[in-house]
């Protein structure tokens, strides 16, 4: 299926409350332009330098989501334009995003990445740390950051029950703080598991290969 056909199919099939982030990492500008021409306006990248180059070349009404792990010293390069940072997993990063947002006279929206996978994944905050973050009013110290929700990645496995259980854990945590912390985004689900994620309350899926085809990693 072509890129534009995939975009059209997702637009037709997704429930209204679920937003599609087209994950375009490693893909050429021409592929992003094709998705754009099919109506896609939200793109996800996992490297700040690559995202910034694409931002410079493509139409300015695109919303750029940083979905990958963020190095603190690179926040400044995306601070002028990034629309949502999905994988905030430490206070030090919140602090730097707050500082760079202030330097750019804006508020930057972020999600807290929660470690939900059983496999030993490197990134994401432990559930207890996320609870403490919301209950201790930690976020008050970062007025130029707005936490809009949670993000998680399930274990890479064919076991749909396990994937479902991991997403369930994430969505319980989201529901627990949704009203008090005014959250509205639950980012979970990728090409292989977005249907399971949506069944467990996802409001934002991050889809790469199902739109753009397999990636050639260098």
Ligand X SMILES: *Cc1c(COP(=O)(O)O)cnc(C)c1O
Binding site for ligand X (CB under 6 A): 23, 25, 46, 67-68, 190-192, 206-210
- Residue 98 Cα distances to 31, 52, 62, 109, angstroms: 33, 19, 22, 10
Of 109, 4, 16, 33, the C-alpha closest to 65 is: 109
Residue 74 CB: number of other CB atoms within 10 A?
16
Judged by CB, which is closer to ligand X: 169, or 206? 206
Q: How far is the CB of 135 from ligand X (least distance, A)?
A: 27
Nearer to ligand X, 123 or 138 (CB): 123
Going by C-alpha positions, the residue among 87, 83, 78 that lies closest to residue 61 is: 83
CB of 140 to ligand X, least distance (A): 28
The dihedral built from the CA positions of residue 149, 145, 180 and 90, taken in this order, carries a sign that is: positive
Which residue, 8 or 191, has its beta carbon nearer to ligand X? Answer: 191
Work out how close the CB of 103 gets to ligand X at its nearest, in angstroms, rounded to a whole number.
26
Would you say 99 or 114 has its CB closer to ligand X?
Answer: 114
Check: CB of residue 43 under 8 Å from CB of residue 60: no
Contact assessment for residue 204 and residue 22, using Cβ atoms and an 8 Å cutoff: no
Q: What is the number of alpha carbons within 13 Å of residue 205 lying toward its C-beta?
A: 30
In the complex, which residue's CB is closest to ligand X? Answer: 208
- Least distance CB 217 / ligand X (angstroms): 10
Minimum distance, C-beta of residue 34 to ligand X, in the bound complex (Å): 17
Closer CB to ligand X, residue 141 or residue 159? 159
């Amino acid at each position: 299926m072509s890129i534009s056909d995939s975009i059209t199919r997702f637009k037709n099939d997704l429930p209204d409350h679920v937003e599609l982030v087209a994950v375009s990492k490693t893909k050429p500008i021409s592929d992003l332009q094709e998705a754009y021409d099919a109506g896609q306006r939200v793109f996800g990248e996992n490297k700040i330098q690559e995202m910034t180059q694409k931002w410079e070349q493509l139409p300015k009404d695109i919303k750029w989501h940083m979905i990958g792990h963020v190095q603190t010293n690179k926040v400044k390069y995306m601070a002028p334009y990034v629309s949502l940072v999905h994988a905030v997993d430490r206070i030090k990063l919140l602090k730097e995003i707050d500082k760079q947002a202030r330097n750019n006279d804006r508020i930057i929206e972020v999600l807290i990445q929660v470690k939900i996978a059983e496999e030993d994944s490197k990134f994401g905050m432990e559930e207890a740390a996320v609870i403490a973050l919301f209950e201790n009013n930690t976020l008050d110290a970062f007025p130029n950051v707005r936490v809009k929700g949670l993000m998680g990645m399930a274990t890479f496995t064919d076991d749909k029950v396990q994937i479902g259980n991991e997403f369930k854990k994430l969505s319980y945590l989201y529901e627990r703080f949704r009203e008090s912390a005014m959250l509205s985004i639950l980012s979970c689900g990728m090409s292989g598991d977005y249907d399971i994620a949506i069944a467990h309350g996802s409001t934002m899926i991050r889809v790469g290969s199902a739109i753009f085809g397999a990636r050639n990693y260098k």
